[in-house]
Structure 1
Amino acid sequence: MKKLLAFSAALLSIGAVQAEALSLSYIGQQIVESGRSYAGTTVGGLSGIDYNAATGRYLAISDDRSSINPARFYELSLDISKFQRSATANSAGVSFNAVTTIVNIDGKPFAANQVDPESLRLDAARNRIYWSNEGQRAAAGFQDPTVRSMNLDGSYAGAFSIPERFKPSGSNSGLNAGDRGIYNNLAFESLTLSKDGKTLWTATENALSQDDLPATVGKGSNARLLSFDLSTGKAGAEYVYQVDAVALPPTPAGGFATNGLTELLALDDRQFIAIERSFSAGAVTPGTSPSGNPTGNTIRLYYVDARQATDVSGLDSLKGETFTAMSKELLLDLSSLKNDDGSALALDNIEGITLGPVIDGKQTLILVSDNNFGATQFTQFVALSIQAPVPEPESYALLLAGLGLLSLVARQQGMRAG
Structure 2
Amino acid sequence: MRLRTLLVTVTATLAAASSPAAATSGTAAATGTTAHSCSSAVAIEGFSDALDKTTYDGTFVGNLSALSVGLPHSRLRPGGGTPAGGIAALSDRSSLFTLDPKTLKPTGVVGLADENGAPLDSEGLAVDRDGTLLITSETEPSVRRYSRDGKILDRLPVPDALRVAPAGRATSNLTFEGLTLLPGGHTLLAGMEGSLSGDTPGVVRFQTWTRHGKHFGLAAQYGYRTDTGLGVSETAAAPDGRLLVLERGFTAGYGNTVRLYLADLRHATDTSRVDTLTGQAGVRLARKTLLADLADCPSLGARARQPQPNPLLDNIEGMTVTGVRHGRLSLLLVSDDNQNPAQITRLYSLRVRLPHSAAQDA
Please say whether Structure 1 and Structure 2 have the same fold, judged by a TM-score greater than 0.5: yes
- Quick check: 1:181 aligned with 2:169? yes
Which residue is equivalent to 1:289? Answer: none
Q: Aligned in 2, Cα 1:345/1:338: closer, same or farther, shift over 3 Å?
A: farther
Structure 1: runs of 5 or more not aligned: 1-10, 13-20, 65-70, 80-92, 136-143, 171-178, 214-220, 247-258, 284-295, 390-398, 400-418
1:34, 1:373 within 8 Å by CA — same for their partners in 2?
no
Tell me the CA shift for residue 340 of structure 1: 4.7
Q: Partner residue of 2:314?
A: 348
CA spacing shift, 1:22–1:233, aligned 2, 3 Å: farther
Match 1:121 to one of 123, 126, 129: 126
- Matched with 2:200 is 212
- Equivalent position to 1:379, from 335, 345, 355: 345
Q: 1:239-250 to 2 correspondence within 5 Å?
A: 239-246=222-229
RMSD over aligned Cα, in angstroms? 2.7
User: Which of 296, 307, 321 is the matching residue for 1:336?
Assistant: 296
Distance in 1 (CA, whole Å) between partners of 2:142 and 2:302 is: 43
1:53 and 1:357 in contact (8 A); partners too: no
2:247 matches 1:273: no
- Equivalent-residue separation in structure 2 for 1:200 and 1:357 (angstroms): 20
Please tell me the residue identity of whatever aligns with 2:225.
Answer: Q
Q: 1:160 to 1:342 in 2, by over 3 A?
A: closer
Superposed CA offset, 1:271-321 (max 9, x none): 2010001111111xxxxxxxxxxxx01111001011111111111222473
SS class of match (2:105): strand
| Post-superposition offset of 1:225 | 0.4
Give per-residue Cα distances to partners, 1:341-398, cap 9 Å, x unaligned.
6995521111111111457885411001111111111101000123589xxxxxxxxx
Classify 1:268/1:316 alpha carbon distance in 2 versus 1 (closer, same or farther; 3 Å): farther
Query: Which digits, 9 at most, give the CA deviation of each residue in 1:324-346, with x for residues without a partner?
Result: 11110000111111145699552
> What is the deviation of 1:263?
0.7
Q: Which has the larger radius of gyration?
A: 1
The amino acid across from 1:374 in the alignment is N
Q: Which amino acid aligns with 2:161?
A: R
Structure 2 gaps, min length 5: 1-22, 25-38, 73-83, 304-309, 357-362
Whether the aligned pair in 2 keeps the contact of 1:180 and 1:210 (CA below 8 Å) is no
> Is residue 337–residue 345 contact of structure 1 (8 Å, CA) maintained in 2?
no
Deviations 1:167-212 (A, max 9, x none): 2234xxxxxxxx9421121111000001011010002111111323
8 Å contact kept, 1:204–1:224:
yes
TM-score calculated relative to the size of structure 1: 0.66
User: Cα distance 1:53–1:157, how it changes in 2: closer, same or farther (>3 A)?
Assistant: closer
Once the two structures are overlaid, the 10-residue window that deviates more, 21-30 or 145-154, is: 21-30
Which residue of 1 is the match for residue 191 of structure 2?
203
Which one-letter code corresponds to 1:119 in the other structure? G
Give the deviation of 1:233 after TM superposition.
2.2
Q: How many corresponding residue pairs?
A: 300
In the other structure, the counterpart of 2:36 is: none
Which secondary structure does the structure 2 equivalent of 1:356 belong to?
strand
Aligned to 1:224: 205
Contact 2:62 2:337 in 1 (8 A): yes
For residues 341 and 30 of structure 1, do their structure 2 counterparts lie closer, same or farther at Cα, with a shift above 3 Å needed?
Answer: closer
Equivalent pair of 1:22/1:386 in contact (CA under 8 Å): no
Q: Percent identity?
A: 31
Residue 110 of structure 1 is matched in structure 2 by 118
The equivalent of 1:413 in structure 2 is none
